Each structure stands twice: as structure tokens, then as C-alpha cells.
Chains A and B, each alone.
Chain A
Amino acid sequence: MRQRLSLTARLTLLYALVSVLLLTGLGVLVGVMMDRHFAEQDADDLRDKLGLIREVMSTSPDIATLADRLDDVVHNHRDLYVQLQRLGYPVYASQSPAAFHFPAVDAAANRQMVSWQYGNANYHGMCSSGRLADGGRTELTICAAIDTGRHEHFMQMIGRSLAVYILLSALLGGVLAWWVAHNGLAPLRAMKARAQAITGQQLDTQMPVASVPPEMADLAESLNAMLRRLQEDFRKLSEFSSDLAHELRTPISNLLTETQVAIAQPRSADEYRDILASNAEEFQRLARTVSDMLFLAKAEHGLVLPSRERIAIEDEVAALLEFYDALAEEKNIRLQQSGSGQLLGDRLMLRRALSNLLSNALRHAPAGSVVTIDIAQQDDGSTVRVCNAGSGIPPEQLPRLFDRFFRADPARVAGESDGAGLGLAITRSIAEVHGGRISVTSADNSTCFTLWFPAQSPVAG
């Protein structure tokens, strides 16, 4: 596998590369412009020279005189080469004629500049025609050429300087990029250091938000939100374990004592049977507490609805009232149902939730009173309201009513008829799993629990 480059290395390389590319492009552009400029300069120069030669020619009566005068002219211009042709044959050539070799006189004839290479040197050349001062009888082709070596030397020098400059720029750009990236990523390293220090016990650590660039502030904020959620979940989990241990300790200790006392001395079979039966009842309560706790734990960790169907709430309430009928009659309490509504959810869970509310109402309603169950359908959802008469719940206890193991009357202990104090917590969990909620109001003489379920239940699990 290829090793991944660090962000800093990537930025450094990118900057260096961009510097090289940009400056090289600029260098090439300048080179081309200078080349063109030199060529134009040469062309002008050659045109001047040709004009000069024609002038000399127009005052020279014959070729020999012309040659002498041209030798003087050419002598002062070291880089200038002149050749005269008559009817295609050279009649005069300045300096070494071998080096002076027009490849295409025709092409050059009409004052067009041509360039060529001969040996190690490059030349620019141009031709024209003129007549001697012999009455215009002798027409000669004049060709002049310049050695461009000086320009090339200059260009090479510029090129070398540019190359050095580009290298230096790339280096500098890279270093600058490294510095910027390294500094820019410093907050990330700080976050890393903090993240490394976070453990289950130190979830209250927060990422720095104010001191980092805006892009990273978002990240830090998200991480902080995540940490807060984790912390909350973690707290719940710890509470769950300690609650569980605490709740199980008392019944287990009771069972242990009862059993040990029982076997401490011989007893009659009936006595043993009684003790075992009592133990069995206690064990059943324990088992129920454990499964209720597990249900709650699952609900808090995103329980998926086992099934999802359209339920007519009034039917479920009617079934539950039938179930509680005998108990209510026994306590001389009337159960009264009204209204109708629908929800999308799990039937068993809905029954369980409603059952907890009903048994709670029956437990606290005084004899001779009425427990009312009102169902209502609104546009956005449906509500079930269970009200019972009774002494009312102190306002400060209302918010804690749905906490696990909360009992309004602390004097009562686990194992009494009101169960382990998980019923309302379970009902709330069930409402939340359905995307709904539960609320409670309590006045002097009545207490009402209201379950609300949304018309659209949460995203299918």
C-alpha cells in the first residue's frame, strides 16, 4: 500500500510545484518575447545595413571600388557579413566566405529575414538588390547577415538566472507553505492531545472552540456535542448498574436470611413448603425486576420497535379495562373510557404502557371514585389521558415520577404491591420509542397522566 502523505507535506509540495510552474511559464513567456524582440531588432538592423550598402553602391562606378568601400564598412561591424551576387554568382564576400552561406537567397530576396545555422553559429540574413553608379547597367543582389551569438549568450544567461531564481522560489514557497500548514494545523494537534486524554471517567473534557479557526471550530463543537451525549449516556449506564445492584441487594439479602434461618434447625414439611413458596414469590419479583430493567436499558439504547401496525387505541383500552375490571370492582372503582384515536406502533408495548398507567391509577384512586381514560385524535397525533382522583402528588415530585425506582412514598419498600417502581419509567420509554411523550399534572384532588403519540411514528427501525 502506498503511504499516505501528511497534509503538511502535501501543501508544501503543492506550493513548491505551483511556484515552479508559474515561474517557468513566466520565464518561457519572457524568453519568447525577447527572442521576437531580438529578431525584430536584427531585421531593422539588416534593413539599415542594406540601405547603407545600396547607398555606397549607388556612388560606386564599378565592383572593385564598391568592394574596397564595403571592406571599410564591414571592418567596423564585426558581426556583419555582406555578399554581393551578380546573376546568381558571388562577386563579393566580406570575411570568411565559407561561413557566409545563404541557404535561400530567393526567399531572402524581398527584404524578408531568414535565419539559419552554420557550424556552431546562428545567423539572421536579408537580401535586396541595387545598381552600381555605371548608369544602372549592373544590377547586383546584396545580402547581409548577422551572427546572433550575442543574443543567444544573453538568453542563456537570463535562462540560468531564471532557473536559479525558480529553484529558490520553490524552496521558499515550500518552506512558507510548510510553516502555514504546520501552524494552521496546530489546533488539530491540540485536539488530538485532548482526545488522547479522554477516558470513561473524564468525559467532561471539552475541545477548544474559541481559539481555533472557524472551520475547526465546527468540528470542535461537534466533538463537544458528541462528548456531552456520551457523558450523558455514560452517566445513565453507571446509574443503571448502581440502581440495579442497589435494588437487588435488599431482596437477595431477604432471601438469604430467610433461607439460612430456615435451614438452621429442623422444621416440619409444611413450614419448609411455606418458606419455599415465599422464596419463589420473591424470586419471581426479582426476575420481573431484572427483565423490566433490561427492557428499560434496551429502550434507552435505541430499542427498535418489534412491530409496527395501525392500532385503534380505544380497542386496546377496552381490552385492558376488561383485564382490570375485576380488580376495579373489588376496590369499588369505576373505569370509564371515552373517545377514540389511532397510532402506528407495537401493540404489545402500547398495552404494556397503558397497563402501567391503569394499574398506577387503580393503586392510588380512593374507593368509590372513577378512573377516566380519554382518548383523543388530533391532526398531529393522538393522546390518551388517564385520570384518577386521589390526594395529588406534590409538585416537586412530578418531574421525578418517571425516574427508575422512584417511589412517591420513600417509606414503602420494594416487594410491595406497587412493584419495583419501574412501571412509569417503562411507560415513558415506550412512549419515547414511539416518538411520543408522557406528561403528568396533579391538582389537589386528581392526577392525570397524558400519553401523546405522533401521527407519524419515528423512522422505521
Chain B
Amino acid sequence: MKILIVEDEIKTGEYLRQGLREAGFTVDLAHDGQEGLHLALEGGHDLLILDVMLPGMDGWQVLTQLRLRHKTMPVLFLTARDQVEDRVKGLELGADDYLVKPFSFAELLARVRTILRRGRGTVEATTLQIAGLELDLLRRRVSRDGKRITLTAKEFGLLELLMRRQGEVLPRSLIASQVWDMNFDSDTNVIDVAVRRLRAKVDDGFEARLIHTVRGMGYVLEVPEPDA
């Protein structure tokens, strides 16, 4: 997966490039609109991360130019301004998502993966399975190593999200938004409590712990490395 970042702030650009590279993407970085447009027209990227405020040619113009030339790759806008009109403008121009600075990297990564996944026509699986943990989506049942686990509806939703995106660190805001449809930052530790309770049901009494806290980032469900 190849991503192009157009960001004039040097440090932000570098950190984004590093972070996305380490998350397994191939990353190009441009520092202004002209260069970004040029690279986007040449490069065959799967996703464009575009800052709105750019010297010379701003993010809106880059996107407009791209769409004029029938480049249909998804675009995620980054902006320091949070104005409803901006949001609307971005979406009207055909942007796929919109992140307001300051954002957390975990949030960006999760959104990038969501957008890239959207493109692929995934076959709807009826069961999800990781290391003995099995989630039956049709019958809404969970079992681990054959042992039935009883979950509330929201716990089921939370586990489904973690399993669908196994290996990805999910920030609390994304979990709140996806599972509870709470699309704002809450200053409470609701998510922590919910995850803790889910973990007690899913991991307690089993040798391998699947749900992990990544401090300062969020939560991830993955099979631990054997030597860790």
C-alpha cells in the first residue's frame, strides 16, 4: 500500500512518514501543493494525506486538479481549522475523511486503514477467529477454546471491532465512535472500564492474553509474540 503525504510542516511530515512506514506502508512525502500534485499524478498511490493549508497551491486546489484529471484515489484531509464549512467543502470536493489537528497518530492510522479497507470488497465472514477465540457473527456467540463466553451486546460489539482490526492499535475515540456511536472526546475512562471488563471475560483464565493496552495510544487485540 502506497501513501502520499502532502504536508508543508517539516516535522509533522517527517513524523507521519516514519509512523506510516513503520506501520507497513510505502510513503512519499511532498512539501507543497505543486510537488504533491506532481507526485500524485505520477505515482499510483493508494491514498493521499493532504494538508489543507499549503504554500502556493492549497489542499482544495490539489484535490480539484486531481479529480479533474480523473485521479480517484481516496483523500484524507488534515487541517488546523475546525470549521463546519471546511468539512462540508472537503466532502463536497470528494475527500474521504477529515482530521483536525492536533490529532493522535493512532487515530490517523486507524482512519487510514479504514479508508484503505473500504476500497477492497472483503468477503463478509460469518465467524472471526483468533488463537482459539471464536466469534459467531450470525448467532452472536463467543467461545474461547470451546468454552462459551457470555457477553453483553456492547461487549460483543467491542470484541468484534478488536477482532476485525486485529493487530491495529485502536484509539479510545475510535472505539467510542464505532461501538457506542459517541463521536466526541469524552474525558471519562468509560472505554478503559469497558475494555477491562471485556478482558476479564475473554482473557482471564487463559494462558495467552489477547487484548493489550498500548499506553498513550489505545488498545489492540493480537496474539502475543512467543518470546515476549
Contact = CB atoms under 8 A, between A and B. Distances in A.
Interface of A: 273-274, 276-281, 283-284, 286-288, 290-292, 294, 304, 306, 319-320, 322-327, 330, 348, 351-352, 355, 359, 362-363, 417-420, 423
Contacts of B82: 291, 294
Given A284-B104, A326-B193, A423 B216 contact: no
B215 interface: yes
B187 A419 contact: yes
B205 interface: no
Interface string B126-159: 0000000000000000000000000010100000
B216 A291 contact: no
A417 B193 CA distance: 13
B190 A276 contact: no
Contact of B187 (A290, A325, A423): A423
A288 B82 CA distance: 13
Contacts of B190: 323-324, 326-327, 359
Which of A294, A326, A327, A355 neighbours the largest number of chain B CB atoms within 10 Å of its CB?
Answer: A326
Given A330-B193, A418-B187, 5 more contacts: A277-B217, A319-B182, A327-B189, A327-B194, A355-B182
Contacts of A290: 102
B187 A352 contact: no
B18 interface: no
B176 interface: yes
The 3 nearest A-B residue pairs measured at CB: A280-B216, A277-B215, A419-B187
A363 B187 CA distance: 11
Interface of B: 82, 84, 100, 102-104, 152, 154, 176, 180-190, 193-194, 197, 215-217
Which of B82, B154, B190, B193 neighbours the largest number of chain A CB atoms within 10 Å of its CB?
Answer: B190
B78 to A, nearest CB: 14
Contacts, number: 80
A359 B215 contact: no
Given A323-B176, A325-B154, A276 B197 contact: no
A348 B216 contact: no
10 contacts: A277-B217, A281-B216, A283-B102, A286-B102, A287-B103, A294-B82, A319-B182, A323-B182, A330-B197, A417-B189
A291 B180 contact: no
A438 B86 CA distance: 30
B110 to A, nearest CB: 14
A318 to B, nearest CB: 12
Contacts of A291: 82, 100, 185
Given A359-B187, A417-B188, A327 B182 contact: no
A277 B216 contact: yes
Contacts of A278: 215-216
B85 to A, nearest CB: 9
B165 to A, nearest CB: 20
B54 to A, nearest CB: 22
Contacts of A352: 184
A319 B84 contact: no
A433 B53 CA distance: 29
Which of A273, A278, A281, A355 neighbours the largest number of chain B CB atoms within 10 Å of its CB?
Answer: A355
A199 to B, nearest CB: 29
A287 to B, nearest CB: 4
Contacts of B189: 327, 417
Contacts of A284: 104, 216
Contacts of A281: 215-216
B182 A351 contact: yes
Given A277-B216, A278-B216, A359 B193 contact: no
A322 B180 contact: yes
A362 B188 contact: yes
Contacts of B184: 348, 351-352, 355
A427 B217 CA distance: 27
A422 to B, nearest CB: 8
Contact of A322 (B84, B154, B185): B154
B200 to A, nearest CB: 11
Contacts of B181: 319
A326 B192 CA distance: 10
A292 B194 CA distance: 24
B104 A359 contact: no
A276 B188 contact: no
B4 to A, nearest CB: 25
A440 to B, nearest CB: 19
Contacts of A326: 154, 190, 193-194, 197
A320 B180 CA distance: 8
A359 B190 CA distance: 9
B183 A348 contact: yes
Nearest to B195: A326
A418 B182 CA distance: 19
